[in-house]
Structure 1
Amino acid sequence: MTSSAGAADPWAARLHVVSGKGGTGKTTVAAALALALASRGRRTLLVEVEGRQGIAQVFDTAPLPYEERRIAVAPGGGEVRALAVDAEAALLEYFEMFYKLGVAGRTLRKMGAIEFATTLAPGLRDVLLTGKVKETVSRRENGRPVYDAVVLDAPPTGRLVTFLDVTRAMAELARTGPIHSQAEGVVELLHSDRTMVHLVTLLEDLPVTETLDAVRELQAADLRVGSIVVNRVREQWLPDRSVASAAHGRVDAGRIHTGLATAGLDLPPEVIDGLVAETVEHAVRVAAEVAAGDRLTRESGDIARLELPQLLGGVDLGALYELAEHLCEQGVRR
């Protein structure tokens, strides 16, 4: 398998799309990535489109309105702003932008016509969401981009390609007019080197399988994969040479007892048995993670791979800064 990113530097992109199987921590990784890209005085925008208010949760702040709001200061004086995109509000913007229907659009909203339209054509909702993301990437002020980078906390990998490519179908349906031009602009952005998709996984069989499937689907759709982020990497306590035997239950309880006694710890047999059981369990997990990691390396080709550690005590704002620092140390800089 080869990387669709080619020789392009993934961190030179303007739009960074973050996705992953549910439960892998994609929102946390998107937040840490936004902080990393905002270091050294940069400004990034962190966008969510699923209506979960996940960004507000990881930054421990109030639910985000449909407006861009500063939520964090990055190292070096940069800043991260956040936006929770609402499909109805985005449609009203389209009405006003392309057809000058501000008052009429608000009337349609009161009538429930917007909800009816997005329900009748489910793809329309994704068109509106990706269109708003494109607008934030393209927006300029005094001749320069308002944001140095935009990070999109995207839907899970299971529907990622459908979400990103739905606008191409809209561009083919609406062959003239402002909506066609807008749709073409979205397609051009998403299929260029200015957009990179980063996939979040855990070193477990199902997330790795879904990640590799997503890589193939993205490449087939001519969407560029920037990196694979292995999240929640846990520390290995055993030396490599001991993992295989311990995973098969070959742990010398007598040797453990002797070693602890030498250190001044004379523990009862039941405690030693508990330590042995924990050692075997740890070795089994390590062996499985090593196998998953080897498969990921073997089948993902030359796609950049980053790792983030398992943090004790959950994720708070301090943890996000720690994760951002890990990303910067691995070369993530705008």
Structure 2
Amino acid sequence: MSVPSTADWSRVRLHVVTGKGGTGKSTVAAALALGLASHGKQVLLCEVEGRQGIARMFDVDPLPYAERRIATGLRHEDRTPGAVHALHIDAESALLEYLAMYYKLGRAGKALDRFGVIEFATTIAPGVRDVLLTGKVFEAVQRNSRNKAAIQYDAVVLDAPPTGRITQFLNVSGELAGLAKVGPIKSQSDTMMTLFRSPRTAVHLVTVLEEMPVQETADGILDLVAAGLPVGGVIVNQVRSRDITDGDLDAARDGRLDTGRLAADLEEAGVDLDEGLVDGLVAEAHDHAVRRALEDSQRAVVAGLDRPSYELPRLPGGVDLGGLYELAAMLKQQGLA
């Protein structure tokens, strides 16, 4: 496990979690929300990709377009834990809510939906869908008098689109540049960018110790910095156990394992030495050693990104709700949550 970071995330209200597909960014986002709630905080976990991943991870019914309490935060020995709420955001519902809140189009907005106007508006103009999604996230972070009955959250965690799209997704002013140069929509997008570019936001990148995800993480950091968006930490996920010594790994990789001693140890343990068993184990050890060497080289690349980094292990039984709490405790121990 990596050394706990000295980074201070206490000012951050919006934690955006992104990563290449397959790195487990949704799992990390959920664990981060649980960890943040351990401080007695009210935390909102949002998703925008339409897969109902939060519902599956927390074993609850599919989420409507409404904030719903789904879990208690990680327990802390001297503090009552807060709660994790969840919200599944879709662009059509976000637009209807926007029309109702800002233009008082209640029934009229629903009538537009029936005629297909809402779907038209969210597909015909490039970037409008992302602006609506990020707009709802902004509203959850920075609640105002138009939404008086809503919960005031201490932190919002966004399970965001993949690294290759994250800068475009958050850069709403750029998305609207050719659509709205003046007026309320332009004004609101500028206000949103004030939050997204401020110290109250952090974009965390999830990777695994493989060349392509690490390279995409490095590229994503460069893109975020160029767009003036605040880069958070790098979370290295699904790290394999490091139970084998470096000397044994070197021997396995170089083909220097003592097969006679291995066979003797297996016999002493009561294992029947079927034909090919020792050779098969030696081959597996070689593959594992090669994999570990690759991981170590990519860990060095991550260290060179000059960002706080955190590591989460590969859980042997997969990630269930108990596993999420386990990962949340690790993020808290390392200082991210």
CA contact (8 A) 1:137 1:150 kept: yes
TM-score using structure 2 length = 0.90
CA contact (8 A) 2:15 2:203 kept: yes
Deviation per CA, 1:208-250: give whole Å up to 9, x if none: 1111111111111111111000001110232112323322333
1:30 Cα deviation from its structure 2 partner: 0.2
CA contact (8 A) 2:47 2:158 kept: yes
Structure 1 pair 185–8 and aligned structure 2 pair: CA distance change class (3 A): farther
CA contact (8 A) 1:98 1:179 kept: no
Q: Which residue of 2 aligns with 1:235?
A: 241
Deviation per CA, 1:55-103: give whole Å up to 9, x if none: 1111111110000000000123210000001111111122122222222
Q: Which residue of 2 aligns with 1:155?
A: 161
Q: Which residue of 2 aligns with 1:206?
A: 212
* Rounded Cα–Cα distance in structure 1 between residues aligned with 2:7 and 2:314: 30
Q: Does 1:252 align with 2:258?
A: yes
Q: Which residue of 1 aligns with 2:86?
A: 82
Q: Does 1:313 align with 2:312?
A: no
Runs of 4+ aligned structure 1 residues displaced above 3 Å come to 171-177, 258-269
Q: Which residue of 2 aligns with 1:24?
A: 23
Percent identical among aligned pairs is: 56
* Rounded Cα–Cα distance in structure 2 between residues aligned with 1:201 and 1:52: 20
User: In the TM superposition, what are the counterparts of 1:266-281 in structure 2 within 5 Å?
Assistant: 267-268=273-274, 270-281=276-287
Equivalent residues, number:
324
CA contact (8 A) 1:95 1:101 kept: yes
* Rounded Cα–Cα distance in structure 1 between residues aligned with 2:43 and 2:295: 33
SS in 2 for 1:132: helix
Q: Which residue of 2 aligns with 1:326?
A: 330
Q: Write the letter of the residue equivalent to 1:319.
A: G
Structure 1 pair 72–145 and aligned structure 2 pair: CA distance change class (3 A): closer
Q: Which residue of 2 aligns with 1:297?
A: 303
CA RMSD for the aligned pairs? 2.1
Q: Write the letter of the residue equivalent to 1:41.
A: G
SS in 1 for 2:276: helix
| 1:99 aligned residue (98, 103, 108) | 103
* Rounded Cα–Cα distance in structure 2 between residues aligned with 1:11 and 1:314: 30
Q: Write the letter of the residue equivalent to 1:191.
A: R
CA contact (8 A) 2:208 2:237 kept: yes
CA contact (8 A) 2:168 2:175 kept: no
Q: Which residue of 1 aligns with 2:36?
A: 37
Q: Which residue of 2 aligns with 1:4?
A: none
SS in 2 for 1:122: coil
* Rounded Cα–Cα distance in structure 2 between residues aligned with 1:208 and 1:315: 22
* Rounded Cα–Cα distance in structure 2 between residues aligned with 1:31 and 1:172: 35
Q: Which residue of 2 aligns with 1:50?
A: 49
Q: Write the letter of the residue equivalent to 2:227.
A: A
Q: Write the letter of the residue equivalent to 1:196.
A: A
* Rounded Cα–Cα distance in structure 2 between residues aligned with 1:269 and 1:290: 34
SS in 1 for 2:127: helix
Q: Which residue of 1 aligns with 2:199?
A: 193
